[in-house]
A and B are shown apart, each in its own frame.
Chain A
Amino acid sequence: MLGEGILKGLGETARNFVGSFVSEDRLTTVEYPEQRLLPIENTRDFPFLVYDGADPDAGLRCVSCQICEKECPPKCIYIVKSTDKKPDYVGKPQFYPARFDIDISVCMSCQICVEVCPFEAIKMDTEFELSTDDRFGGLILDKHKLAKSNEHFQRIHPTEAAEVDARLAEEKEKVEAKAKAAAEAAAAKTAAESAAAKTAAESAARKAEDGSSGSDAEGVKP
């Protein structure tokens, strides 16, 4: 029957209209600045740099290898390599970025930098309140704005962060085990050397003792 669907539709919207005053559950939206929904885990917008520990300068994982800079499709990353080195998380001396800028007005959130990074140093953030009144300077994020702690990473992407942490811990353990083994080998070697030196010294001393006693004997002999 013509018009039946219209009446049904009018009934549905009338139900919504009255229902939205009666039950709070019907309201599907939240009032944004005051109420917020947590971002879902796979949310991503712009990259950030991860650092370990408390000091962003000391703990930055980035070793300035510049792979992300080269792979970035819209070329929004700009890196200046340092001239000196600082120890990384396993203690190996590495370069670090003297400058690391991302122009988020150019970034297209493709996550390729994250995929190519061999050091787990760059990850995607969920921060979206980035509006600024300076559309040139305000949208270029420097090293200090980009650096965020590993705890932040664990909070926004728990699953990925756990994987990364496990992998890094394993690597560190491996390196430490290797260092330990090397140290042990070195220690054993020095021990053996010192033992050998000791026996040599002892035998020399004994020999000298014998010699002296002999000479003594000779000397004592009238």
Chain B
Amino acid sequence: MNSATLDQFFVLLQHHLSALFPTVLQPWVSMILGVVGIVAVFPAIFALTTVLERKGLGRMQNRLGPNRVGPFGILQPIADAIKSLTKEDIVPRSADDVVHFLAPVVLVVAIFLGYAVLPVGRNMVLLNIDAGILLFFAVGASTELSIFMAGWSSRNKYSLLGAMRAVAQMISYEVPLLLAAVVAVMMAGSLAPTAIVQAQGGFTGIFPHWYVFTPWGFAGFALFVVAALAETNRSPFDLPEGESELVAGYFTEYSGFKFALFFLGEYLGMMSIAGYGITLFLGGWGAPFSFLTFIPSWAWFFAKLFLAIFFFIWLRGTLPRLRQDQLMNFAWKFMLPLSLLNLCVAAAWRFLGECLGSGTVAEVMRWLVCAAVLVLAYILLARTLLRRQNIRPRSYRYAD
């Protein structure tokens, strides 16, 4: 099997399997196969992620992590699944039971919809539509609805507080998330994820044309990562689920498999947003060096996805939780101005390229100017905000 067949292995498999059916049914079978692939692969990665996360966090805290179920604790997710399936499903007596039941279902469905337009390899996208990025952000915004449904229907003040926090946080960070993503769309000139990946597909020497290697792309990527952490309620932005103050926030009143669905939804959301981060800035399924293109495209996508997940786990093992006011200040006073400036820089990059013409000197000039603007803005903004915040050792009037 040569590398081209290996690259297209799953696409060919889908074709061959659907060819076994009558012609009328073929598009449907092909689509169902794609859906089954997504619904099988990503929850499997979720199961693997839970155990890797627990082991990774353990190692970061100088512990061993789970190591009882199976070799090196790798079968832990199976034990967890059996546990959550056999647990009692409690619905509070005063809860709105229809909405209480629908909330986790809506969450998981909305998040799965986001995978429909995510290219996980060359020709490997379920729905190749022109407005894919738009669809992802629209569907991603609807997860807020299910979170608020969960918090409201539980009729519990902690759930409601958690839901309010979640909605406030997700709406605030939706703005920088979108603005950070828009630069990639501007440069590729298309809202289709496949077109954005293709636009990053070339190589200069051995290095790829990923957007993250340009000043606006790097800034956009950094902003996107921070906003994505906040969107998916990951640490350090896990205020809606703060165990110490809100007893797990909006899903306090959920148990058994509904709780597991929220957990699944959260991790699937994290993976899909990481997938879009990869698509927009890290070249999607493209190889990082020109001499590594023989490795299948889907392998690159999932390698990048695991790296992104590891980075999220690493951050979770490192950073403490923010305070609510810090969270909001960071979104509106830091992220928003920087992402707006980044839009201008991206536009300037585009037109500077036309003004200065081609040539190495012009390229370097353009790179330096754009980078300088962003770095300067970053330093100035950080200094202003920190000065106003006035962080210094606290002095105690009577204790000194």
Q: Of A22-30, A47-55, A85-93, A151-159, which binds chain B?
A: A22-30
Chain A residues lying within 8 Å of B355, measured Cβ to Cβ, are none
- Identify B314's interface contact among A3, A13, A29, CB under 8 A: A13
Is A13 a contact partner of B318 (Cβ separation < 8 A)?
yes
Is B382 a contact partner of A1 (Cβ separation < 8 A)?
yes
Is A19 a contact partner of B62 (Cβ separation < 8 A)?
yes
Given A2-B385, A16-B60, A17-B60, 15 extra CB contacts under 8 A: A1-B379, A3-B382, A6-B318, A9-B318, A13-B314, A13-B317, A19-B62, A20-B62, A20-B63, A21-B59, A27-B63, A27-B64, A28-B62, A29-B63, A29-B64
**Could you list some 15 contacts between A and B, CB below 8 A?**
A1-B379, A3-B382, A13-B314, A13-B317, A16-B61, A17-B59, A17-B60, A17-B317, A20-B59, A20-B62, A20-B64, A21-B59, A28-B62, A31-B64, A31-B67
Quick check: is A14 within 8 A (CB to CB) of the other chain?
yes
Quick check: is A12 within 8 A (CB to CB) of the other chain?
yes
Chain B residues lying within 8 Å of A2, measured Cβ to Cβ, are 378, 382, 385-386
Q: Which B residues between 366 and 400 are near A, CB-CB below 8 angstroms?
A: 378-379, 382, 385-386
Interchain CA distance A26-B61 in the complex, whole Å: 9
Interchain CA distance A19-B385 in the complex, whole Å: 36
Chain A residues lying within 8 Å of B62, measured Cβ to Cβ, are 16, 19-20, 26-29
Chain B residues lying within 8 Å of A20, measured Cβ to Cβ, are 59-60, 62-64
Is A28 a contact partner of B319 (Cβ separation < 8 A)?
no
In the complex, which residue of chain A has the Cβ closest to the Cβ of B320? A9
Chain A residues lying within 8 Å of B60, measured Cβ to Cβ, are 13, 16-17, 20
Chain B proximity of A142: nearest CB distance (Å): 34
Chain B residues lying within 8 Å of A200, measured Cβ to Cβ, are none
Quick check: is B56 within 8 A (CB to CB) of the other chain?
yes
Convert A37-60 into 0s and 1s, putting 1 for each residue whose CB lies closer than 8 angstroms to a CB of B: 000000000000000000000000
Is B63 a contact partner of A12 (Cβ separation < 8 A)?
no
Chain B residues lying within 8 Å of A27, measured Cβ to Cβ, are 62-64
Interface size on B, residues (CB 8 A): 18
Quick check: is A177 within 8 A (CB to CB) of the other chain?
no
Is A17 a contact partner of B378 (Cβ separation < 8 A)?
no
Chain B proximity of A175: nearest CB distance (Å): 56
- Identify A10's interface contact among B56, B314, B378, CB under 8 A: B314
Chain A residues lying within 8 Å of B385, measured Cβ to Cβ, are 2
In the complex, which residue of chain A has the Cβ closest to the Cβ of B385? A2
Chain B residues lying within 8 Å of A28, measured Cβ to Cβ, are 62-63
- Identify A6's interface contact among B56, B59, B67, B319, CB under 8 A: B319
In the complex, which residue of chain A has the Cβ closest to the Cβ of B386? A2
Is A12 a contact partner of B318 (Cβ separation < 8 A)?
yes
Chain B residues lying within 8 Å of A6, measured Cβ to Cβ, are 318-319
Convert B282-306 into 0s and 1s, putting 1 for each residue whose CB lies closer than 8 angstroms to a CB of A: 0000000000000000000000000
